[in-house]
Amino acid sequence: MPCHRVVVVGGGFAGFHALRRLQRLVPADVELMLISPTDYLLYSPLLPEVAAGIVQPRHLAISLHRTLPRVQLVLGHVISVDLDNRKLSIRRPGGTLRSEVWDRLVLAPGSVTRRFDIPGVAEHAHGLKTLPEAIYLRDHVLRQVDIADATLDPVEREERLTVVAVGAGYTGTEVVAQMQHWLRTVASGWRNINVDGIRWVLVDRSTTLLPELGARLGGAALRMLEKRGIDVRLGVTIAEAGDRSVTLSDGTVIPTRTLVWGAGTTASPLIGTLGRRTAAGRLVVDAQMRLPGRHDVWALGDAAAVPDLTRAAGPDGHPVSAMTAQNAQRQGRTVARNIAATFGRGFSRQYRHRDLGLAADFGGKDAIARPLGVSLRGVIAKAVARGYHLMALPSLSNRVRVLCDWILDAALPKQMIHISAIRSADALIADAQHTRSYAQPATALPLDSAVA
């Protein structure tokens, strides 16, 4: 064990950017360790473009080994944290258990798709939080069209040609709009498929679309989706999901074999195992992202309720920072400085970031964006969104690959083949996002003996 060890849990935006800066800031004798289930940072804002076949999946995966050369990567999920003894239990690939100790800990396990307790959702809904889920979704939709093209049964045909998506935030809306645009472009490639016969239904219990972008842009997005033939149903939700239909809360039954679940996110289940104070499931921390009462533990990103000091405080204090990549990334950099300060390098500071705005790309020339409060639509919004993504992608080689994907997508016929390499069961939310890892008691797992 070196004289000091900083352990980071989760290699998403928050953990990655914390480590990237820590590599430069902390003394050479400090060991940096990252526990992550993958060997890449996933640039999730472009996942809808993977589902729509525009960007190749690997181009959104930023190699942790290449970008974090000073960091020891340990593949696995942290399933419990012993704050008193400064010890972590890690479930490694293959199911074996390993323990690690720390003297500075950064908790950045992000969030998972929120499922609610709706019958059938766990068994039939597919989320869009990981690369396997995005790849599965695209292949699954293409497979449904293939099968529908060759079936003589009109009921089966309707089921296979209907996609229901839940959640009209940026995930649900973008994925429906992007995939619908792409499928319309390629649908003429099948002998018996009429473009207008493919039905897209977007459902949300809220009464507005894209609430993150404000009423005006949300209204513009709604009109645009409806003009394209997408059936948007606001103010209702799913009451039950089955393998061949979903039932809405207003009693409507929609025949479908595809249920896309984008109904928001909730903090990683790891946070609930800590026995510490949470706010809406996120770990409560102070403005320096320290766990109250601890000088050696920080939490940030989607998993933490970091006070947003740029917004006015109410009776319960400041509102918490939104779950966005721009917050997670900047919180990572601030935490790195705060940890460096504990080694006598620089000073600790509070997190403060004014929101830069959001953008949503709907495929083709349709997009909306609100950078720095300015409302934009169409190709200008699309250019702003794409320019931002290129800047935000943290590796030059990934930037070039994504840019080439966009150029190829514009210049060549769109791809319409499915490889179907991911099984439906592996792409269900609980398996793809490993939400069950924490239910298993750590003692029931074999000790660190072999790795699959």
Ligand X SMILES: Cc1cc2nc3c(=O)[nH]c(=O)nc-3n(C[C@H](O)[C@H](O)[C@H](O)COP(=O)(O)OP(=O)(O)OC[C@H]3O[C@@H](n4cnc5c(N)ncnc54)[C@H](O)[C@@H]3O)c2cc1C
List contacts with ligand X (CB under 6 A): 9-15, 35-38, 44-45, 47-48, 77-78, 108-111, 128-129, 170-171, 268, 270, 301-303, 323-326, 328, 358
Minimum CB distance to ligand X smaller for 47 or for 384: 47
DSSP state for residue 109 in the 8-state scheme:
-
Tell the smallest beta-carbon distance from residue 251 to ligand X (Å).
30
Q: What number of H helices and E strands is found in the chain?
A: 13, 26
Tell the smallest beta-carbon distance from residue 111 to ligand X (Å).
6
Minimum CB distance to ligand X smaller for 46 or for 254: 46
Note whether 378 and 25 are within 8 A (CB).
no
Element (H, E) at 389: helix 378-392
Tell the smallest beta-carbon distance from residue 86 to ligand X (Å).
16
Note whether 124 and 243 are within 8 A (CB).
yes
Type of residue at 38: T
Note whether 447 and 91 are within 8 A (CB).
no
* Beta partners for residue 192, in sequence order: none
Tell the smallest beta-carbon distance from residue 216 to ligand X (Å).
19
Tell the smallest beta-carbon distance from residue 11 to ligand X (Å).
5
Strands in 4-9's sheet, in edge-to-edge order, are 71-75, 30-36, 4-9, 104-107, 297-299
Q: Pull the structure tokens for residue 30.
A: 């400090």
What is the rounded CA–CA span in Å between residue 363 and residue 419? 23
The DSSP string of 46-61 is: GHHHHHTTSS-GGGGE
Q: Provide the H-helix boundaries in 161-314.
A: 170-186, 214-227, 269-272
Tell the smallest beta-carbon distance from residue 401 to ligand X (Å).
19
Measured at CB, which residue is nearest to ligand X?
12
Minimum CB distance to ligand X smaller for 108 or for 176: 108
- 196: exposed, middle or buried (C-beta count within 10 Å: 0-12, 13-18, 19+)? exposed
CA atoms within 13 Å, Cβ hemisphere of 219: 4
Tell the smallest beta-carbon distance from residue 256 to ligand X (Å).
21
Tell the smallest beta-carbon distance from residue 258 to ligand X (Å).
17
Q: Pull the structure tokens for residue 358.
A: 């959001």
What is the rounded CA–CA span in Å between residue 67 and residue 407? 26
Dihedral sign for Cα atoms in the order 107, 321, 388, 213: positive
Tell the smallest beta-carbon distance from residue 239 to ligand X (Å).
25
Minimum CB distance to ligand X smaller for 233 or for 353: 353
Tell the smallest beta-carbon distance from residue 409 to ligand X (Å).
18
Helix axes 170-186, 214-227, angle to 10 degrees: 20
- 155: exposed, middle or buried (C-beta count within 10 Å: 0-12, 13-18, 19+)? exposed
Question: 341 phi and psi, to 5 degrees?
Answer: -60, -30
Note whether 368 and 220 are within 8 A (CB).
yes
